[in-house]
Chains A and B, each alone.
Chain A
Amino acid sequence: MRKQRRITRYLAIGMVAAAAIGLTGCTAGGSGTTTPDKEGNATLTFLVSESPNLTPEYWDAAIARASKVVPGVTIKKVVGENTPAYAQQLFASGQAPDIFAAGIANGLAQKGELAEYTRAEMEAAGITDFTSGTINGKFYGIPAGAQAIPLVYYNKDLFAKAGIDGPPATYSELLDDATKLKAAGIAPFEIGGGGEDTWATTFTLNAVVAADMLTADKDWFLKREKGEVKFTDPEFVAAAAKVAAITKAGFGDKDGMTRTYADMEQSFFDGKAAMYPMGSWFTAAADAKKLTNIGAFGWPSDAGKPAFPVVSGAGMNVNAKSKNVELAKKWSLAFATDKENMDAGVITDGAISTVKGYQIPENVGTLYKEMVAAYDAAVAEDATVPAWGNTTGDGALPPGFNDKMVAANVDLMTGKTSPEDFAKYLDEQYAAAQK
């Protein structure tokens, strides 16, 4: 009896230990790629990320439209995270799809995992904007659309309730408005994000750095890559100090730090806070609700220069080891430049199209139109700056660094670390993450 008990116990423990060992080998994804048959028909795998804005129905309809343009292609949709980390996991386990919807190029392109698009290929497809999104000067994604990350969305009704006429023009006006809102019993900012959505906490830092540093020097993060500047330099420490001061002053929605991204968006819609720093995809969510009381502005610098941070050229990366690289590139270009797809991207994700001759559909909401008008004005004045937290090409943050920054930013916002220590920590982590 004793022997039997011992055997059973060892078996049980062996099974659990085996599960523990298996931890290092967990992967996900799938492959369904086929080589073209005699008629040139082939199946390509396409990794997409689904969200409240980018629903399964959106992707299915968009895929079907692009497949009509490139006959013979059957797309197998693979749903997962569209992040460089997930992509490298798929490459490491031999499960990388043929095409990735969103930008995962940085790191993987340098390693030779992604196929290059030539400028001629893209010009032929109607792409006009070649100003960003390169890696070592080459394109691994299609710069057909842009996102502004972040702008500040504000509730006009709550501003009026606090006696504020319009969006602030300078940083001191922004602080004055926040003080008035707080005095009126309104949380000035919806900032936070908890658990898996902790990434959402960094939009304030992204905005302040863009306004205070990048409007003065657009190439700051390119210089950081080369080691010519550091996070401990006074300009970055000063920006971090502003972020810390905002939360210390109680200008944030105090329950925001544990909310999910979806909860934060809902909270702003519900009027629990007056301002919401977020990416331009938010316009789609607001317009879908037919809200007319929301406006947008760029985070203002001390001197009154608003930040319009933009990222483009990120998506439709093609696996260099695909059995059908040329076909995958052709389908990707068709997907990126299809009018209906671009319309759908505008309506569902607030994307800003940069394709030649593209006209915004009539039925888009007022907030999107307001945002695009501001983008056009910023482009005309050469006032756009890189959306540094989301840049995927040259000047992007090194792989893994963003997670460290997000965690440290929470410590900065909650007063657990000082701006100086925060900057020092970022320099250490940046050095460790640079390959």
Chain B
Amino acid sequence: MSTTQIKSSKPLPQGRASLRKRRKSLHSPLHFLLFALPGAILYFVFVLWPLVLAFWSSLTNEDAYRPKTSFVWFENYAKLFSDPAYLQVLGNTLVLTIIAVIVPNALGLGIAILLDRSGWAFNAMRAVFFVPVILSSVVVAVVWQQLMKDDGLINAALRPFTDNPPGWLSDPNLALYSVATIVAWQSVGMCVVLYLAGLQSIPKELLEAASIDGAGPVRRFRNVTWPLLAPSVTIMTVLTMIGGFKIYDQVKVMTNGGPGVGTTSTLAFDVIQTGLSSGAVGYSAAKAAVMFFIIALLSMASMKIMKKREVDL
């Protein structure tokens, strides 16, 4: 049996002494490590290790239907950027992403401003706008495919006015925009909620002070609301951009990458088609790696640019 002597110029009450001791022991690196370990293991197993495996696979000619795999270094990457089909996919994804960023953010902000007041009707409206967000994107795509097909409800409504209503999903010039519209529609609710939170965190005194100084609604928005909303704008822009680059479900259900060859094919859709349908696992991994780097680079760049206009209270 041993005893520990606490050195102190002034004796502490027993309870406080043991609390200090406990606090001290909690600050040891071992404790931090123990707390971090479960999360770190999960992160390593489910994120880092698959990432390393995917990158390794991208340097091979791994194929689901070929027994032997060999190392091909950067051959898959060289093939990728000389493949016109991939460049078409990249273009489609950029168009979709631009629409998926601009439309929901603009609409979301506008709707949030209109809903930024109290009352049961406004609360109900917030819930209505949020419903598409909680729905599965596959369910949303199935419903919109039924509405947008050539003999769907939308064209049925248009037939009294025209004999040839648009082929929302069958016209190669329209299909990409139809898919983008649905993606944007589903994201609006999330933007509304985030912008509402941003608007409600703006101190009312600042808006009142601006009013007293003679600023009208437009000026108050431009000089007070908009600068203070900058963090919300940054995060929603980056999140919708990442979402835009990952679009798969809606394309798979509504157009299957068509009509025709690759007219609505996106990066994520192409990765899955190449890996699972064609079995070209190595080539697909190279496409996934490029997709990852594009998303990472654009996310970092847009955060850096947009952060500059953020204002601290």
Contact = CB atoms under 8 A, between A and B. Distances in A.
A435 B170 contact: no
B276 A13 contact: no
Across the A-B interface, the 8 shortest Cβ-Cβ residue pairs: A400-B278, A107-B65, A411-B260, A258-B149, A255-B151, A88-B64, A255-B150, A24-B288
Contacts of A137: none
B65 A111 contact: yes
B253 A407 contact: no
B58 to A, nearest CB: 10
A13 B238 contact: yes
Interface string A243-279: 0000000000011111110010000000000000000
A410 B259 contact: yes
A286 B148 CA distance: 28
B278 A407 contact: no
Interface string A186-207: 0000000011101000000000
A41 to B, nearest CB: 33
For chain A, what secondary structure do more than half of its interface residues adopt (helix, strand, loop), or is it mixed?
A: helix
A115 to B, nearest CB: 16
Given A13-B242, A17-B296, A408 B260 contact: yes
B71 interface: no
Given A9-B235, A17-B296, A407-B257, A257 B170 contact: yes
B260 A414 contact: yes
B150 A257 contact: yes
A256 B151 CA distance: 8
Contacts of B149: 194, 255, 258-259, 263
Interface string A25-42: 100000000000000000
B271 A195 contact: no
Contacts of A16: 239, 242-243
B278 A258 contact: no
A18 interface: yes
A130 B64 CA distance: 28
B150 A254 contact: yes
Interface in B261-288: 261-262, 268, 271-273, 275-281, 284-285, 288
B47 A195 contact: no
Given A9-B238, A20-B246, A258-B170, 10 more contacts: A22-B46, A23-B288, A25-B50, A25-B54, A194-B259, A195-B252, A258-B152, A259-B150, A399-B65, A411-B260
A410 B259 CA distance: 7
A89 B299 contact: no
Contact of A89 (B234, B246, B276, B292): B276
Given A257-B259, A410-B260, A1 B313 contact: yes
Interface residues of A, number: 53
Contacts of B97: none
Nearest to A19: B246
A300 B167 CA distance: 32
A256 B253 CA distance: 16
A194 B260 CA distance: 10
A85 interface: yes
B312 A198 contact: no
B256 A198 contact: yes
A111 B234 CA distance: 49
B161 to A, nearest CB: 17
Contacts of A260: 145
A18 B292 CA distance: 10
B241 to A, nearest CB: 10
B277 A400 contact: yes
Contacts of A117: none
Nearest to A412: B260
Nearest to B273: A403
B169 interface: yes
Contacts of A1: 312-313
Interface string A402-420: 0110011011001011000
16 contacts: A9-B231, A13-B238, A13-B239, A16-B243, A22-B46, A23-B268, A85-B277, A89-B64, A111-B67, A194-B149, A194-B255, A194-B256, A254-B150, A255-B150, A403-B278, A435-B65
Interface string B40-60: 000000110011001000000
B50 A91 contact: no
A226 interface: no
B295 interface: yes
Contacts of B246: 19-20, 23
**Most chain A CB neighbours (cut-off 10 Å) among B65, B145, B248, B276:** B65
Nearest to B284: A24
A183 interface: no
A260 B169 CA distance: 12
B260 A416 contact: yes
A16 B50 CA distance: 16
Contacts of A256: 150
Contacts of B260: 407-408, 410-411, 414, 416-417
Interface string A152-165: 00000000000000
Contacts of A414: 170, 172, 259-260
A59 interface: no
Contacts of B278: 399-400, 403, 433
Given A13-B239, A408-B261, A435-B66, A20 B291 contact: yes
Contacts of B231: 5, 9
A258 B256 contact: no
A411 B271 contact: no
A136 interface: no
A108 B261 contact: no
B256 A196 contact: yes
A400 B239 CA distance: 33
B196 interface: no
Interface string B4-48: 000000000000000000000000000000000000000000110
Contacts of B295: 17, 20
B195 interface: no
